[in-house]
Amino acid sequence: MKAAVPADKLLVFSADQGWKPLCEFLGMPVPESVFPNVNDRAAIKKTLHELTRGAYVILGVGAAAFAGLIYGAFRFFS
Query: Same domain for 7 and 33?
Result: yes
* Statement to judge: residues 10 and 28 lie in one domain: yes
- pLDDT of 62 reads 96
20 and 45 inside one domain:
no
Is the same domain home to 77 and 42? yes
pLDDT tens digits, 19-45: 999 999 999 999 999 888 777 788 889
Q: What is the dihedral of CA 42, 46, 49, 51, to 10 degrees?
A: -130
Question: What is residue 21's predicted lDDT score, i.e. its pLDDT?
Answer: 94
Q: State the average pLDDT for the chain.
A: 91
Q: What pLDDT, on the 0 to 100 scale, is given for residue 37?
A: 72
| 45 and 23, same domain (yes or no) | no
**Residue-range definition of the domain harbouring residue 57:** 38-78
Instruction: Looking at the structure, tell me whether residues 26 and 4 fall in a common domain.
Output: yes
